[in-house]
Amino acid sequence: MPRSRDETHRRILDAAYGLFWRQGFLRVSMDEIAARAKITKRALYQHFRSKDDLIAAALAHCSELAMQRLQGFRRPAKANELIDSFFSELAEWAAKPRYSGGGFTRVAVELADLRGHPARAIARKHKAAVEAWIAEALAAAGVASPRERSREVMLLMEGAMLLMLIHGDRGYAKAAADAAKRLMKS
């Protein structure tokens, strides 16, 4: 039975997403993606004109899924509980066997010399959406200057994700949460 165009498109995105997060965006070939999606390379190029287009589409899809998960995140009414819950979720994510850091940060680093790459714009948009979500949650918890505190929490989150990847120590999430709670008092 032939697959629908949408089904094939989704298979390609799923295959690309998995490979990009495990091996890196630049190291994965279109041949590997086609093989993983169980399609021909020709069929792959019928859906995506280039690897850059596929990277951008995979990131946009991932951003959509991540924001859906974030919208379902438990948002305690007290700032300290919100921070503990947020960084605790981050530590649980880092505990997964194939944790490879934050994909949106990784793609920005991998493509650092390609400032106009569409994936960088998607990563920037995603990080801005996460920061806005944090600011909204902090405002709802009654934190003063929620936009400024949100920016600081983003810095702590990014640092924690990177250091958990480097050291394999989820304790960095707790340290970041403790620092964020101190910021909420200032």
Joined tokens for residue 68: 């859906």
Walk me through the domains of the chain, giving residue ranges and CATH numbers.
Answer: 1-48 (1.10.10.60), 63-185 (1.10.357.10)
* Closest among 62, 61, 56, 66 to 133, alpha carbons compared: 66
The residue behind tokens 């994700």 is 161
The CA distance from 131 to 178, in Å, is 19
The residue behind tokens 């806005």 is 132
The CA distance from 42 to 130, in Å, is 36
CA 119, 123, 124, 128 torsion-angle sign: positive
* Closest among 73, 76, 88, 69 to 142, alpha carbons compared: 76
The CA distance from 178 to 88, in Å, is 11
Distance of CA 102 to the CA centre of its chain: 5
Q: What mean pLDDT comes out for the span 58-75?
A: 90
Q: What is the pLDDT of residues 137-182, one digit of tens each?
A: 999 999 999 999 999 999 999 999 999 999 999 999 999 999 999 9
Mean pLDDT of the chain: 93
